[in-house]
Every structure is written in C-alpha cells, then in structure tokens.
Amino acid sequence: MTMDAQQALAAIGEPTRYRIVLLLAEAPRTVGEVAESLGALQPQTTKHLQALEAAGIVRIHRLGRRRVASLDRAALARLADRLQTLAAETADTATDDDTLAAYEQAITEEAGRGDASGSRAVRLERLLPAAPADVWAAWTDPALAAQWWAPRHFTVAACEIAPTADAPVRLVLREGDGAEYTSIGRVVEASPATRLVYELAPVGAAGAPLFRAVHTVEFTSVPGDSAATRVTLDIDVSAVEEGAASAVAGLEPGWAQLLEGLAAVLARP
C-alpha cells in the first residue's frame, strides 16, 4: 500500500489516534483492549482505528469475530524516512538556515543597543578570482552588478551605479513574493580598479534613507597572481532612524552573501 505522508501525519496528529499509535507500539491489541486503555466507547475507538488504517499506519486483522489492531511498522519506517529526507541538510539549506539564525540574532542585538542612532562599522574581506579591473567592472557596471548584487532568494529588479563622483546609486531588490526593497545613495569617490566610495541605504515608507551608510571598497592586486584581487569592504553606519534595526543588522550577513555571489560570477568561464 502506498502511503500518503500528509494523510498519515494528519491521522497521527489527532490526540486520541496518537495515543492509539503509542499503545500499539507496545503490542497488538484488540479493539476492545484499545477502547478500555483509552477509557473510550468501542464505536468511537473503531472509527479512530479505521482512520489510522485508511492512512496506512495501522493494520486491522479480522480474525473471525475478533478484530486485532497492530502497528504497520514498515509503513511508519517509510514515513520516518520521508521525514528524515525533509530534515536532511544540503550545503545550500545549511547555509540558509545558519544565515537566518545569525540574522535574527543580529536584529535582537541591534534592537537592544542603547545608542540606537550611534555609529556602527562593518568590515569584510574576500579574495576574488579575477584581476582588479574585472572586479571593478563587476561592481560598477549596472548590467554586471545586477548579476550578483542580491542576497540569496532575492533578485535585482533595478540597478543604477556609475564609476563617477556624485553619480546616483539605486538598487531595487525583489523577494519571491513580489515585495520590493529600494536602496538609494550616491558615489562619493571613484578611483578605477583601486578604490570606490559610495553611500547606499534602504529607504523607509517616506522614501528617505533609514540611515547613512558609507561603503568604502578597496581593490588590491595579489602579488604573484594577476588573476586574483583582495577586496576590503568597510561600511560606516550613522544617523540610524528608529525602526531600522533589521536593515542595519542585515548589512553584514547580506554582504557576506553578496560577496559570495560576486565570487561565483567572476569564476564563470
């Protein structure tokens, strides 16, 4: 018999039926014995057993006038295997789970800060598999930046940036449910393939940035390896508005994912 995992879980999830499963896990019992153990009427118990039988969890042995219920342990083992498959981690799901947990903890810590409007600093460093000029292009060409400038499970709906001082910076991220999140800013300094400084921060409901975030990116060549670049990203945050805890807390885990995405784009043939 093929088990419908959803039906089986729904059947077991009913409190009385779960008690029946526990009883039958100890040993098979007649319908009357199950009813007596539950302190229930036999007709009610019969209905519960029939539901468990229909779900493939219990077998009812019709032995003449006797009805003996037993647990279908092989079916339960298949259900357990199904749940184990759902619970098994892959490299991607483990990363997602860890990132969500770290992000939630960061929001809690950010919300508990005593100096809500004070300054913060974030630093990330990565060794990227491309020459500084190529990394610079991937960061400052909107078409290339749109390929990596979104955390996992987001897409870039719009990207605007140019390697020119005072050029506007605009990024719109779209989540799977269609929700969009806009960040705006401007380029402060642009030294090709060497240093890029820009402001960029998410906007609130009124369209104004929730805080000031100055991003300073240093592109450093690696001695002896012309196809590698060490990138250092410093983010200085200040003027944090009330209610911006989640956005501020998301900077470090978000950029960690962005740099992974950038590395993947640069590694493509």
Each residue's pLDDT tens digit, 145-199 = 999 999 988 999 999 999 999 999 999 999 999 999 999 999 999 999 999 999 9
Which residues, including other chains, have CB under 8 Å from residue 122's CB and lie 6 or more apart? 233, 234, 235, 237, 251, 252, 255
Domain 116-266 grouped into CATH 1.10.357.10: no
Same fold across 5-87 and 116-266? no
Q: What is the pLDDT of residues 101-149, one digit of tens each?
A: 888 888 888 888 766 667 899 999 999 999 999 999 999 999 999 999 9
For the chain, what are the domain ranges? Answer: 5-87, 116-266
Taking residue 181's Cβ as centre, other Cβ atoms within 10 Å add up to 15
Beta bridge partners of 187: 198
Tell me the mean pLDDT in the region 75-88: 90
Rounded CA-CA distance 82/80 in Å is 5
Cα separation, 190 vs 196, whole angstroms = 5
- d(C-alpha 136, C-alpha 190), whole Å: 10
34-69 pLDDT, tens digit each:
999 999 999 999 999 999 999 999 999 999 888 999
Task: State how far the alpha carbon of 138 is from the alpha carbons of 151, 189, 265, in Å.
Answer: 16, 17, 9
Task: Write down the pLDDT at residue 25.
Answer: 96
CATH T-level fold of 5-87: Arc Repressor Mutant, subunit A (1.10.10)
The confidence band for 258, taking pLDDT boundaries of 50, 70 and 90, is very high
Count H helices, E strands: the chain?
10, 10
**φ/ψ of residue 136, rounded to 5:** -60, -45
Which helix (DSSP H) or strand (DSSP E) does residue 103 occupy? helix 91-111
Distance between CA atoms of 125 and 95, rounded to whole angstroms? 19
Place of tokens 């004070």: 118
> How many whole angstroms separate alpha carbon 76 and alpha carbon 222?
57
Query: Which range, of 1-5, 60-64, 198-202, averages the lowest pLDDT?
Result: 1-5
Q: Take residue 118 and report the two structure tokens written for it.
A: 């004070």
Residue 3 in this model has a pLDDT that exceeds 80: no
